[in-house]
Amino acid sequence: MEVQKDVPFTIEELTPDWLSKGFTDSGLLSSAVITAIKVERIGEQVGFNGEVAIITPSYEGDASAAPDRLVLKIPTASRNRILGQTMGLYEKEIRFYRELRPDLNIRTPKHYYSALDTADDPDVILERLTGMNKLPIWVIRGLMAAATWFVTGHPRRYALLIEDLSSYRMGDQAVGCTDTDVGNIITAMAQLHAQYWDSEELPGMSWIAPYAVTSRIMQMRYLQAYNDFMTDLGAELTTSQQALAQWLKTHGIALTEKFGDEPATLLHGDFRLDNICFDDANGEIILFDWQTMMAGPGASDLAYFISATLPAETDEAKIQSLIDLYHTELSGHGVDIERDHLQRNYETGLLCMLHRMLPTVYLPSMDLDEERSLPLLKAWLGRIFKRLEVIDQQSLTRTLVGSS
């Protein structure tokens, strides 16, 4: 990927001169310049891996093609940055906005400019992850520790400048949304998934990671977090929930790889209300934060969104109606998948969600805001367990790995 010099490391390092040069390089400015900027930070940490600020530039000259306001997104200064840089999340999101965004059939923020001071192409990072995923877990643990040490001493600089969406109604995972909102989101999700469902184009995008490429890394993280999870919440779990958590200690890798064998589409990977805003005038959603996109089964995003959004007490009939809606919308866009097969994929997606979400909460390598993020994620874990309670767990696990 093309790299640039003097990329700001923090929001405070952004300057009018740097922004002027970036807008000139991207064609937004010709003879005009930016003389001053107003910076409004949006919280201390909006996302797990990024910090965000609204930028209002002051121009001198003809700036009719340039935005009046925009969003600056840079990596977080917290420990979460280590995982983001190691996994290539920042390079991947920049490449998404530069190359893939114009072709999507759903709305995402406009891309104004992006820069990074040094980088590995996402497909090179993917090659490394693929090789690492063939190693024993104890070796992976050592390599990840070495990567943590290296990234700590050699942080890279990334900056993404995109459309300001604050004029739209913003989603909030802690608050929830209306049934109409949920329906619009599921419809847009199916539209996105149908565009790339089992397509010949997707495998050619060698920089987009397949779902199972980090199966052993995910299992390593689960094993590292399991004891702390059980110490904290084990006594509150039912017998079947305890058995399911224990089952993942043995079968987590096989679960991920089995799920990854399903026909793939383009997954957002973090399909929740905090990454969605609503254009109510046009009845559309705008989906942002593409750091964790991957190629995998569409039911992964579906299980992710449902478990993140709907309260634990939601009636199962309502859940089934949303799966029906997703299935109907897929069919309307030409995707042929049996409803029963989609149901099983949704259930598998929930189980994979448990496997991936638990370490996010309980690994000390993650910095979580105790006022919002930590309670939100713990409640999310509870909803996943609740949704898994209503399925035939023995049948599901036996089908997945041939063992109950």
Please write the tens of the pLDDT for every residue from 17-27: 999 999 999 99
When pLDDT is cut at 50, 70 and 90, the band that residue 45 belongs to is very low
Say if residue 403's pLDDT is above 70.
Answer: no
Cβ 156 vs Cβ 62: under 8 Å: no
**Domains of the chain (ranges, CATH numbers):** 11-163 (no CATH), 169-401 (3.90.1200.10)
Say if residue 34's pLDDT is above 90.
Answer: yes
DSSP state, residue 170:
E
Name the residue with tokens 């964790």: 292
Q: What is the mean pLDDT of residues 262-271?
A: 96
**In the numeric block, which tokens belong to residue 6?**
């003097």
249: nearest Cα among 214, 213, 225: 225
Residue 136 burial (10 A CB sphere; 0-12, 13-18, 19+):
exposed
- Average pLDDT for the chain: 89
* pLDDT score of 155: 73
What DSSP string describes 51-119?
A: EEEEEEEEEES--TTS-SSEEEEEE-SSTHHHHHHHTTHHHHHHHIIIIIGGG-SSB-PPEEEEEESS-
* pLDDT score of 126: 77
Say if residue 151's pLDDT is above 70.
Answer: no
**In the numeric block, which tokens belong to residue 174?**
């802690």
* pLDDT score of 394: 83
pLDDT in tens, 315-366: 999 999 999 999 999 999 999 999 999 999 999 999 999 999 999 999 876 6
Sign of CA dihedral 378, 381, 386, 389: negative
| Greater pLDDT, 298 or 390 | 298
Q: Per mean pLDDT, which of 79-83, 84-88, 170-174, 203-207 is the most reliable?
A: 170-174
Q: What is the mean pLDDT of residues 53-61?
A: 95
Q: What is the mean pLDDT of residues 300-322?
A: 96
The helices-and-strands tally (H runs, E runs) of the chain is: 13, 10
When pLDDT is cut at 50, 70 and 90, the band that residue 179 belongs to is very high
SS3 263: coil
